[in-house]
Structure 1
Amino acid sequence: MEAASQNDAQPVHVADDLRASDLFAALAAGWRDFKACPQYGLFFGAVFVIAGLVMTHLLFNRGEYFWVIPAMAGFPLIAPFAAAGLYEASRRRLAGEAISWRPVLGAVTAGDGQLPVMGVIAFVIFAFWVILAHTVFGVFLGQSGVGADPLQVLLSPVGLAMLAVGSAIGGLIALLLFAIMVVSLPMLIDREVDFITAIITSIRVVGANRAVMLCWAVLVALLVFAAMIPALLGLLVALPVLGHATFHLYRRAVR
């Protein structure tokens, strides 16, 4: 344990030579992990899908059709935190350790409570996005409102302008969350570090490999939103594969 502590205390070295091939290698490794232990991926994917369906159902029942768009756009922001158990499954499989439900489900409390702190950060950012979405709506449609036909309003010039501004703001928030969490969450599962060190390391990885990590962010976004189209059911596979893949990309980026 002492040797492990000394190793954790050493400076963290991040790779600055990530390539597009590393992204595809991570996806391939994530697919192999999912096939090797699908029960964990399907479980976390099902929890995420059910939560999304419940949220959508509640919004429709209350007649708040417009808020389905910002809710669905912001919902994937918390996906990396939901994949904590998948990082642990990948870590154990890579280390040749036994994989069972107890450590996988217990991964959310890993790092002496550091991971729950990251969960709070993700929730705060998600809540901030919802507040901004309300503000954008108020600026563009505060006087007229949505009316009886939300689709017609969204396709109007004012509605399209609102969607453009909202998408730009949401994209910036998503990039911020991506930069601080893409490496920090799997790192907290893999090493005994504090969440500040993990966040700084994540930002360093993104900064040292801007083009490749931006491609990864876009690829993840496209896969997640494509998986959400068939009633979110595609997330049953997309979420676990991306979760496992993120762990392998972290192991490539952090030495």
Structure 2
Amino acid sequence: MPRTVNSDDFRKKHEVRDQDYAKTIPCNQLSVSAPFHWLALGLHDLIRMPIISAFYGLCFTAAAVAIVLLVEWQGTHLVIMPSLVVYMLIGPFLALGLYDAAWERERGHKPSLFHSMKAIGRNSTSQWAFAVLLAVAMIFWMRIAALLHALYPSVQGAPLTEFAPFLITGSVVGAVIAAVIFSISAFSIPLMMERRVDIMTAVFTSFNAVKSNIPAMIVWALIICGGILIGFATYGIGMMVTMPILGYGTWHAYHATIKKKHHP
């Protein structure tokens, strides 16, 4: 005798779990002022977790100082992009420790440096894949920059008008690539750490969240760029403060933007 079909059958059949591949987790709508709240929360975490913040701040500082010294040693800016590729590989894993510490504190636990370091292995396959994706994106950016260099004036001391095609094209292409990289990376790492999702789910979710909150994300991107510029302008020393604040702030941004599991 055939079984009666009811609506629950279809609901269960189409129900999507966090472990499903390449889904897009819904996001919340944010106000333009939200990034400043995340920044304030990051500063608060920095004050409450000085040892963990100092450790990861020193790690980011060491990486930044190495890049600055390498540029000065080589006497050319051409080593900056390769150095940033390496930075793209190690940066996400350093940020994981900050996300874990903020997560532990958010849950009412006492954060520890050892526990934060173990966050690297929480979803290592997807995390390494994402780090490689960022590195490949940076290499692609380098190749595009090399091609655009053909527009550079061949005569030394050429007038500004001859630089215009190079400057305009380079700025537009760079802005587009930077926007794409920011969109896919804004929330990917904390999402992979907390929910252990696959890389495509993290990328799709992050891209959708940024696309749905462009004004707030522009503000947040400018804050991040400002923090990084301050760090490099101070020969990396400023990153001892700016990077932990931005790391903690990113965790709070992720929790404010991506809907929780129990949300429809």
SS in 1 for 2:237: coil
* Matched residue, 2:222: 218
The aligned runs of 1:26-105 (5 Å cut-off) are 26-64=38-76, 66-67=77-78, 79-80=91-92, 82-105=94-117
SS in 1 for 2:33: helix
Output the CA distance in 1 between the equivalents of 2:195 and 2:101.
14
1:72-106 C-alpha deviation (Å, 9 max, x unpaired): 88787664554111111111111122322222122
* Matched residue, 2:136: 124
Deviates more, 1:80-89 or 1:239-248: 80-89
Decide whether the 8 Å contact of 2:18 with 2:197 is kept in 1: yes
Return the TM-score normalized by structure 2.
0.78
Measure how far apart 1:169 and its partner are: 2.3
Measure how far apart 1:46 and its partner are: 2.2
Give unpaired runs (5+ residues) of structure 1.
Answer: 1-5
For this pair of structures, how many residues does the alignment match?
A: 241
SS in 1 for 2:216: helix
* Matched residue, 1:3: none
1:170-210 C-alpha deviation (Å, 9 max, x unpaired): 22222111111111111111112111111111111112212
Which residue type is aligned with residue 78 of structure 2? W
Measure how far apart 1:248 and its partner are: 0.6
Deviates more, 1:41-50 or 1:243-252: 41-50
SS in 1 for 2:119: helix
Output the CA distance in 1 between the equivalents of 2:35 and 2:121.
28
Deviates more, 1:215-224 or 1:186-195: 215-224
Measure how far apart 1:132 and its partner are: 2.3
Output the CA distance in 1 between the equivalents of 2:118 and 2:202.
19
Output the CA distance in 2 between the equivalents of 1:40 and 1:71.
29
* Matched residue, 1:176: 180
Give unpaired runs (5+ residues) of structure 2.
Answer: 1-15, 260-264
SS in 1 for 2:152: helix
Output the CA distance in 2 between the equivalents of 1:49 and 1:62.
20
1:5-39 C-alpha deviation (Å, 9 max, x unpaired): x9745986533421123212211111111111122
Decide whether the 8 Å contact of 2:64 with 2:236 is kept in 1: yes
Output the CA distance in 1 between the equivalents of 2:171 and 2:64.
20
Decide whether the 8 Å contact of 1:76 with 1:224 is kept in 2: no
Return the TM-score normalized by structure 1.
0.80
Deviates more, 1:78-87 or 1:216-225: 78-87
Decide whether the 8 Å contact of 1:70 with 1:133 is kept in 2: no
Output the CA distance in 2 between the equivalents of 1:188 and 1:170.
27
* Matched residue, 2:8: none
* Cα RMSD, aligned residues only: 3.0
Output the CA distance in 2 between the equivalents of 1:105 and 1:180.
24
1:108/1:244 CA distance change after superposition, 3 Å: same
* Matched residue, 1:167: 171
Which residue type is aligned with residue 101 of structure 1? L
Measure how far apart 1:63 and its partner are: 3.0
Output the CA distance in 1 between the equivalents of 2:93 and 2:162.
35
SS in 1 for 2:62: helix
The aligned runs of 1:167-246 (5 Å cut-off) are 167-246=171-250
Which residue type is aligned with residue 22 of structure 1? A
